[in-house]
Structure 1
Amino acid sequence: MAAANALATGESSSAATVEATARTASRRYEALVSVRTKAMKGKGAWYWAHLEPLLVHGSDSSLPKAVKLRCSLCDALFSASNPSRTASEHLKRGTCPNFTSAAAVAAASAGLSSAPTPISSFPPCRKRQSLLPSDSMLSPFSSSPPLPGIPALPAPHHRLALSGGKEDLGALAMLEDSVKRLKSPKGASPGPALAKPLADIALSLLADWLFESGGAASPSSLDHPKFRAFLHQVGLPALSPRALFGPILDSRFHDASVESAARSHDTLYFQLNSAGWNTAPDAEQSLLSLAVNLPNGTTVFHRATVSTSRAPSDYAEDVFRDAVAKISGGAAHRCAGIVADRFKSKALRNLETQNHWMVNVHCQLQGLHGLIKDFTRNLHIFHSAASKSSRLAEFFNTNSLARAVLQKYQLQELNHSRLLHSQNLNAVLEDLIFFSHSLQLAILDEDFKLLCLDDSMAREISDLIRDARFWNELQAVHSLVKLVETMSKEMEAERPLIGQCLPLWDELRGKVKTWLAKFHIEAVIDVERIVERRFKKNYHPAWSAAFILDPLYLTKDASGKYLPPFKFLTPEQEKDVDRLITRLVSREEAHIVLMELMKWRTDGLDPLYAQAVQMKQLDPATGKMRVANPQSSRLVWETCLSELRSLGRVAVRLIFLHATACRVRCSPNLLRVARRSRLASERAEKIIFVAAQARFERRSFSDDEEKDAEIFGENEDDDASSV
């Protein structure tokens, strides 16, 4: 058994290493392609015209294993670690047999040809040059040399003069035709047309990208002249937006919905996943999404609804009841529970009361967001920091002299200047902390000191900026908000199960205690009371039951046994475990399941199986230790603990339930368009369905806006050595 486990672990580790290598190679390849593209536009090194990045795939796998550079002149392959060195040794030093000959041919064609070169054959240049006839190729008023890349014409022996006769009409017609070709992208020489199978594949991939972007790519952009010119240039036929978002979208939606329904119907039980109920009251529209969490850890999409008004209190219950009936095919007991955003309706509680086998929980992301609101409303330090920071930001934004002084030091310190945020608390705090040094310099400026002589508000602001306690308040509040937000982002990316809720809240309590000690906060009791109040508001007895029944959390005692962690529960939480487990079975099985629970509490799990379940390995993508086989907790109950039959049925339905509702995002513009007509709403919902299903397939749950912000914030270097 141990040998089999070791072999499985080795194979898993090897597969993870291959995937990590493939991701690294893909990122390197994309970076080199980006650099080469810029270089071909004249914004990079010269040698990229002759070096082309290539992905090398393994012989026993379809995944890429390395990146190479191919010389387009002689087809030689080189390592992609240092393109600059490769260019120097292969091209400049004459190692490439075709590099010098290619240059000689170009020079010969430029010097020996007596016929003038047509304007349309010249490569496009970044600066417009005069087309007036003169003694040289340049304007008579310019002494600059010819642009690189344009072959020099032999200097004429006499000044060119147009006679105005018939012999000039041909030249003028050629000139006019050349100008038209330069102006119109349609006149550019198209690339070779792709074969129909290749063209169909390319257009299919393009359609997939458009749909999976969730409306971020506008359908009308397909009619843009430059995009059409691009398709023409690469040998693809024009793409009709109406066909794409008509029959092609219908086909993609049909395939995705059929697959989703098939996978939902094949499973023994599922969890309904719903998000979108927390829309602001003044929002014009919202997106309500329903998905299905399966026991194997995957998620499939079920339905998206664009709502143009705030949902009434009983609407959620109707939506959930209808979704459970459709997904389960009338067998409602297959629905193990629901995870949804918190809203005013008592739908979750009502459904749980009416169906004793359901476990309906609120999304923990909303719980953490609510905790930040609790701190803002009930902690004095938040009130103080918000009042002082807003007053400071408002003063520098509205007082012209103070604003000018601050912007001077912003430019001096950071090379840019802007107004300070004055509304959102977290944005205000980040601004003041970011510009803290500029603010300190601003109040020392002579102009600001003169302002303080006549303006009492300026004197008050100056004293506030000098006050160390004020900055400690800002740092403390900002640190606490960041602490909770970081946990929220990690939770959204990792999608914890309900068995992880108790450990996560214990982790939060520990971090809050560290924060209290670091910033010497006096209101310790108030902070702890707020955290506990929010915990009780979000708590569900299933948290304790799943924590006890999941073999992942078994603890080793002094005798070497792996036992359920009852010692970490409060007496009330222990009672919750008994009550919940008996509720999830029939009345006839209630006493049996309690006896099995007692046996589970005293005997636990065989150490060999417990260690196999709790085995972890390094995740190369995040650098964190992850459970090697997340499905082993459920498999242990179905195989090794088969004698605990009643308790096992409860366990396998509990331990796979998620604690967060997976929010489906789409372009706000898509939601606005969906309001205009019934047909627009239907098409928008189909796009959202296809995009969500693709994201679930990729297991990508992070926010694309954050990725975009990171990309826009990066300082890219055109030099290949920095890639």
Structure 2
Amino acid sequence: MATANAAASLDSVSVSADEMTVKAVHKRYEGLVTVRTKAIKGKGAWYWAHLEPILVRNNDTGMAKAVKLRCTLCDAVFSASNPSRTASEHLKRGTCPNFTSTPKPISSISPPPSSISPSPPPPSSRKRNASAATAVAVAASSSSYQIPPLAVVDPSRFCAEIVYSSAAAAAAALPLPPQQHHQQQHLMLSGGKEDLGALAMLEDSVKKLKSPKASPGPALSKTQIDSAVGLLADWLYESCGAASFSCIEHPKFKAFLQQVGLPPMSRRELAGPRLDARFEEARAESEAKIRDALFFQIASDGWKARDGGGAAGENLVNLIVNLPNGTSVYRKAVFPAGCVPSKYAEEILWETITDICGGSVRRCAGIVADRFKAKALRNLENQNHWMVNLSCQLQGFSSLIKDFSKELQLFKTVTEKCTKLANFFNKKSQVRNIFLRYQLQESHEHAGLLRAPPELGRGETVNSSLVYAMLEDILNSSRLLHVVVIDESYKTLCVEDPVALEVAEMIRDVGFWTELEAVHSLMKLVRTMAQEMELERPLIGQCLPLWDDLRAKVREWCAKYNVADGPVERVIERRFKKNYHPAWSAAFILDPLYLMKDNSGKYLPPFKRLKPEQEKDVDKLITRLVSREEAHIALMELMKWRSEGLDPLYAQAVQVKQPDPMTGKMKVANPQSSRLVWETCLSEFKSLGKVAARLIFLHATSCGFKCNWSFLRWVGAHGHSRAGMERAQKMVFIAAHAKLERRDFSNEEEKDAELFANEY
């Protein structure tokens, strides 16, 4: 009995151990099946598309004894202990004869051989497979062998990018007829390979119906959504027409919003309540800054009509308020059409001042405007003795190039010769073809005509920018032009065409190239100074040094190119007198930035650098800016300032310079020091100090905010209605307010042009 009991006990232990082994094998198998199912749906390793877990059974008992991995491409069987290593050794290293970089559709996978029978899936798996099979093969019955055989097609008909979609995975779940067990086949769909996307969408719909509570991921909170929509709306407003409101209804933009979890946006809301609210917010910020300042300057830019400013000749006049602390805030935009009379400009400027100041118009220290009608500025200054109204120096320098073109014979000669050369090369087809051929040979990718200004009628003036572009093109093409005129085809043309011979002689003439280089160099000198002025926005105290710097550079230019300096200097002096204002001299004298150290160690105002008439201008301006009762006091304080100057320590502190991080040039470390010195440590100068504080902060240029051409075109097309003009005003205000806060005076379209001009 004891022996029998012991044997029974051993048998029960053995059975229990076998059951545990079978359970462990089944658990391992189900785990691998789960991993493979997720991988097929795109949530796992790539190799599961080619490796299938199978159960190996004991031939005597029929119980599962191990889990193996079968390669669906070649039917090879491997251990399931390390699927990743199996994939690397069998698939990636080329051991599998049927593996390629483009996987085959799962529908082509053959079932496992009969010798190794897979374990039947659990009931839940059978239910899922039946559902997928029903969705993909609607006409199929419950018996998988009643599905009609799938037609064999050329695999190249399918896109290489379409791999193991969820629809293909569903098709793989369908058992294939016995005669297809050892054939690799592909689906033939009636709509061609475009049907594969539709089939995948069908399977996605089945998945959503089966799992309706699947979480799409963490949703954005209401605060995050409101913040994101607000930032997006601000970007649209600040682009000022570069991005239209209609772009938010583009299908792909809508899809983008949906992808990032944002709700769709409405054009009407953007152009209505949201625009109004953002405008009111920006206007409140601007008005608060203006109220805090004791005085200000109006900068008016845009009176000079731009070429192509809108379909109806619309233009944009910006009215900006410059504050003593160096900041600028936007006030409003004016959209005049065509030529604007001087009186109209005067009324707009005065209306802006009274709108800001109310009854205390003395807060306005002055106006700076681009080259419009100087009469408007003079009238306002004469009517209000405390104001200093200036013409924009940027326009003055730009006009200087036009003066050179009109009054210097060298400019006229070079312009005429270059225009003749450019037009001949552009219009004469035989010469043009030769030139373009040599261009392609040199650059291998680019060939184009020489830029030339259009033919003008009597009394019309040539655009200086177009002339400069033409000179630059001819200079850059110097070598090619010399090659063209020695070409045999061109020599033959010279026999028949006297203009060809004349142009050839011009190109061979060394003097022509010397004169061309001289004119181009002088234009580039003035244009470079104007560009720096636009970038740095100098104050009026810097005007005299700027013109002195120009004179010095022009003298060097005359010496380099052996040009008589008399006619050139006369042109410069004539333009200087047109732009000169007595405030230039007064600000230069009163700004501690320009104090000079004398032999005694004192820092004194630079009266020695003024001409006698400019010294008189300083006295006249100061007495005009103060009341009659204070005039003699202000002049006495000026004499004291002239003899004593400023404490050396404060003078040196004001003049401290540091390299600009953007350009590397040395710049004043704290530009506000000049004004703050007068308001603090020079408080004994009661009358003169008030004049100095109001003078030395004034800007010499009117440039501030640049609007996009696309917006100007929009105004020309839609700005004739009251509602359209109101929206335009608000959009410009929001965009300008944001740019001035960032101290960004650039133009997006100019940035894009620079970007696309760069070579990579």
TM-score normalised according to structure 1 size: 0.76
Match of 1:139 in 2: 157
Give the direction of change, closer, same or farther, for the CA distance of 1:161–1:705 in structure 2 (3 Å limit). Answer: closer
Corresponding letter in the other structure for 1:138: S
Q: CA deviation at 1:321?
A: 0.9
- In 2, Cα distance between equivalents of 1:383 and 1:181: 77
SS at match of 1:286: coil
Instruction: Report what 1:610 is aligned to.
Output: 651
CA–CA separation in structure 2 for the residues paired with 1:410 and 1:162? 55
C-alpha distance in 2 between matches for 1:322 and 1:618: 41
Distance 2:283 2:627 in 1: 35
Query: For the residues of structure 2 that align with 1:309 and 1:578, how far apart are their CA atoms?
Result: 41
Kindly tell me: are residues 256 and 365 of structure 1, through their superposed partners in 2, closer, same or farther at Cα, counting changes over 3 Å? Answer: same
Match of 2:243 in 1: 217
Counterparts of 1:227 and 1:519, CA distance in 2: 58
Matched, 1:158 2:183: yes
The aligned runs of 1:274-293 (5 Å cut-off) are 274-279=300-305, 284-293=313-322
Residues of 2 paired with 1:695 and 1:373: CA distance? 32
Kindly indicate whether the alpha-carbon contact (under 8 Å) linking 2:590 and 2:696 is maintained by their aligned counterparts in 1: yes
Following superposition, the deviation at residue 281 of structure 1 comes to 8.8
Quote the residue 2:456 is aligned against: none
Residues 661-676 of structure 1: pairs in structure 2 closer than 5 A: 661-675=702-716, 676=718
Does residue 682 of structure 1 match 2:726?
A: yes
Partner residue, 1:446: 488
Structure 1 residues 327-366: aligned runs within 5 Å: 327-344=356-373, 346-366=375-395
Selected match of 1:641 from 682, 685, 692: 682
Matching residue of 2:430: 401
**Letter of the structure 1 residue corresponding to residue 576 of structure 2:** F
Alignment of 1:480-629 (within 5 A): 480-522=522-564, 524-629=565-670
Q: Higher RCO, 1 or 2 (CA under 8 Å, sep at least 6)?
A: 1
Describe the shift of the 1:635–1:459 C-alpha distance in structure 2 as closer, same or farther (beyond 3 A). Answer: same
Letter in 1 for 2:230: S
1:707 aligns with 2:751: yes
The letter of the residue matching 1:272 is I
Q: Secondary structure at the match of 1:338?
A: strand
Is the Cα–Cα contact under 8 Å of residues 191 and 235 in structure 1 kept in the other structure?
A: no
Label 1:281 to 1:135 Cα distance change in 2 as closer, same or farther (>3 A). closer
- SS state of the match for residue 367, structure 2? strand
1:111 Cα offset (Å): 7.6
Q: Is the 8 A contact 1:497 1:659 kept in 2?
A: yes
| Structure-2 residue corresponding to 1:176 | 198
SS at match of 2:342: coil
Question: Shift in Å at residue 101 of structure 1?
Answer: 8.8
| More moved, 232-241 vs 480-489 | 232-241
The residue aligned with 2:349 is 320
Q: 1:103 to 1:624 in 2, by over 3 A?
A: farther
Q: 1:379 to 1:705 in 2, by over 3 A?
A: farther
How far apart, CA to CA, are the structure 1 residues paired with 2:583 and 2:449? Answer: 49
String of CA shifts for 1:459-516, please: whole Å, max 9, x gaps.
1111111111111122111111111111111111111000000000001111111111
Letter in 2 for 1:254: E
Distance 1:133 1:247 in 2: 61
How far apart in 2 are the matches of 1:403 and 1:428?
16
What is the RMSD computed on CA atoms of the aligned residues? 3.3
User: Which structure would you say has the larger Rg?
Assistant: 2
* SS of residue in 2 equivalent to 1:217: coil
Seen in structure 2, the aligned counterparts of structure 1 residues 655 and 222 have a Cα distance that, compared at 3 Å, is same
* 1:9-158 alignment, distance < 5 Å: 114=106, 137-139=155-157, 146=160, 157-158=182-183
* CA–CA distance in structure 2, aligned partners of residues 642 and 656 of structure 1: 17
1:245 match: 271
Scaled by the length of structure 2, what TM-score is found?
0.72
Which residue of structure 1 aligns with residue 520 of structure 2?
478
Correspondence for 1:298: 327
Residue 650 in structure 1 maps to residue 676 in structure 2: no
Is 1:281–1:310's contact at 8 Å kept on the other side of the alignment? no
Find the aligned partners of 1:626 and 1:280 in 2 and give their Cα distance: 32
Deviations 1:553-594 (A, max 9, x none): 000000100000000000000000000001111111111111
Q: Using a 3 Å threshold, how does the CA distance of structure 1 residues 107 and 556 change in structure 2: closer, same or farther?
A: farther
User: CA shift at 1:195, angstroms?
Assistant: 3.1
Structure 1 residues 298 and 163: CA distance shift in structure 2, 3 A: closer
Render the CA deviation track for 1:599-640: whole Å, top value 9, x for unaligned: 000000110111111111122122111211111111111111
Could you tell me how far apart the structure 1 residues matched to 2:552 and 2:336 are? Answer: 40
| Cα distance in 1, alignment partners of residues 387 and 555 from structure 2 | 36
Letter of the structure 2 residue corresponding to residue 296 of structure 1: N
Identity across matched positions, percent = 56
1:394-453 deviations in Å (ceiling 9; x for gaps): 111111110000001111112311111120211111111122221111111111111112
- Please report how far the alpha carbon of residue 198 of structure 1 lies from its aligned counterpart in structure 2 after TM superposition: 2.0
Q: Is the contact between residue 191 and residue 233 of structure 1 (CA under 8 Å) also seen in structure 2? A: no
Q: Quote the Cα distance in structure 2 between the aligned partners of 1:102 and 1:705.
A: 57
| Paired letter, 2:540 | I
Is this contact kept in 1: 2:708–2:747, CA < 8 A? no
- Aligned partner of 2:739 among 695, 717, 722: 695
**Matching residue's letter, 1:490:** E
Q: Whole-Å Cα distance in 1 between the matches of residues 640 and 331 of structure 2?
A: 40
**Is the CA contact (8 Å cut-off) linking 2:485 and 2:491 kept in structure 1?**
yes
Inter-partner Cα distance in structure 2 for 1:150 and 1:624: 61
- The letter of the residue matching 1:211 is Y
Counterpart secondary structure, 2:335: strand
Could you tell me whether the CA contact under 8 Å between 1:190 and 1:235 is conserved in 2?
no
Contact 2:258/2:264 (8 A) holds in 1: yes
Matched-pair contact (CA < 8 Å) for 2:305–2:338: no
**Counterpart residue number, 2:475:** 433
Instruction: Check whether the contact 1:135–1:159 (CA below 8 A) recurs between aligned residues.
Output: no
Structure-2 separation of matches of 1:133 and 1:398 = 65
**Structure-2 change in CA distance of 1:695 and 1:282 (3 Å):** closer
Q: What amino acid maps onto 1:219 in structure 2?
A: F
Contact 2:248–2:267 (Cα < 8 Å) also in 1: yes
Cα shift readout 1:20-52 (whole Å, capped 9, x = no counterpart)? xxxxxxxxxxxxxxxxxxxxxxxxxxxxxxxxx
Structure 1 residues 676-685 or 487-496, which shifts more?
A: 676-685
Letter of the 1:495 partner, please give it. R
SS of match in other structure, 1:138: helix
CA distance in 1, matches of 2:518, 2:218: 63
SS class of match (1:588): coil
Q: Is the 8 A contact 1:584 1:650 kept in 2?
A: yes
Secondary structure at 1:464's aligned position in 2? helix
Aligned length: 590
- 2 CA distance for matches of 1:691 and 1:661? 18
Segments of 5+ residues of structure 2 without an aligned counterpart are: 1-83, 93-98, 110-131, 133-149, 173-179, 205-214, 454-465
Instruction: After TM superposition, give the deviation of residue 517 of structure 1 in Å.
Output: 1.4
What one-letter code is carried by the residue in structure 1 that aligns with 2:682?
L
**Using the alignment, how far apart are the partners of 2:481 and 2:87 within structure 1?**
59
How much has 1:191 moved relative to structure 2?
A: 8.0
Deviation at 1:714, TM superposition (A): 2.4
User: Does the CA-based 8 Å contact 1:275-1:288 persist in structure 2?
Assistant: yes
Change over 3 Å in CA distance of 1:466–1:161 after alignment to 2: closer
Name which of structure 1's ranges 300-309 and 171-180 shifts more when overlaid on structure 2: 171-180
User: In structure 2, what residue type is equivalent to 1:655?
Assistant: I
Which residue identity does 1:403 align to in structure 2?
R
Cα distance in 2, alignment partners of residues 565 and 530 from structure 1: 26
Paired position in structure 2 for 1:422: 452
